[in-house]
Amino acid sequence: MTKAPQRRIQRRVVDGVLFLDKPVGLTSNHALQKARRLLNAAKAGHTGTLDPMASGLLPLTFGEATKFSQTLLDADKGYDATVLLGVTTTTADAEGEVLARAEVRASDAEVEAAMARLRGEIEQVPPMYSALKHHGKALYEYARAGIEIPREPRRVTIHRFECLGRDGDSLRIRVACSKGTYVRTLASDLGALLGCGAHLTALRRTHIGPFALDVTTPLADFEALSLEERDACLAPVDALLSHMGVQLLDEVRMRSFTHGQSVTVEEGTAGVLLRVYHDERFLGVGTLTEGGVLVPTRLMSTGTQ
């Protein structure tokens, strides 16, 4: 008996940004695919991953907004986390196997002194259990096979690293840091400085650039909405670009710009990215060059303008 061909799901054209509060237990991609199915969206992406054990702010982009998802990758991030002193694990977090246990003798003052040494510009060695690539393969794949790959230290900046409270050997911490920072490596380094080891037991992302948890929608709440209500949760396509300057174009220059041609505007700082509008219509992003020439960098599709 011949099997009937499966019908392809007709996806909708959906444009916008969902600031999701990702729950613990899901990968960023699983959270994205859930939200995409709930919106029945044709095209979707996210702006940087969160580990399955982490919760919090995860901006998801749909349709035309996926063109601008890279803009937040360079943004500073903020986290609230819990660190357990005295226990070292293979992954520097609670998902790994315990490697060693040690007595914790550090006083509150010693904890603060160690944290102070990890503020500012520091070097971090990326963990083996990470998505960084080596010869096209994620480091965690090598780690699971028992292979250790040498990693070069990377410069990161820790703007804030403080203890919000202590319950025995467990610390509640708050971190504000530059891109590329691993908070579990920060926890592991803290334990090493204190001589007892440590690992991350909980992690919640609270900020990315100018965005905080107050703009998020928890996934469970999003699931409970109607399709129209879900659509209403989406921020505009240009929501991720609020940190950029604005360039307005008249109708003549707008037509040239939207056809991929450079236009002349007032001179400014060469090399900066600007979000570009005609009246209130978002056209895309342009790079300002010497002599006030605005070069199209990423444009909205004509059909969505």
* Active site residue ranges: 51
SS3 252: helix
User: Is residue 227 a contact partner of residue 40, using CB atoms and an 8 Å limit?
Assistant: yes
H helices present in the chain, as ranges: 28-39, 108-117, 139-144, 183-194, 219-223, 227-232, 251-258
Cα gap 62→297, rounded to integer Å? 19
User: Cα angle vertex 21, ends 17, 26, to 5°?
Assistant: 105
E runs forming strands in 67-134? 77-85, 87-89, 98-101, 120-124, 133-134
Q: Furthest-apart CA pair in the chain: how many Å? A: 75
Token output for 252: 């003549």
User: Is residue 48 a contact partner of residue 73, using CB atoms and an 8 Å limit?
Assistant: yes
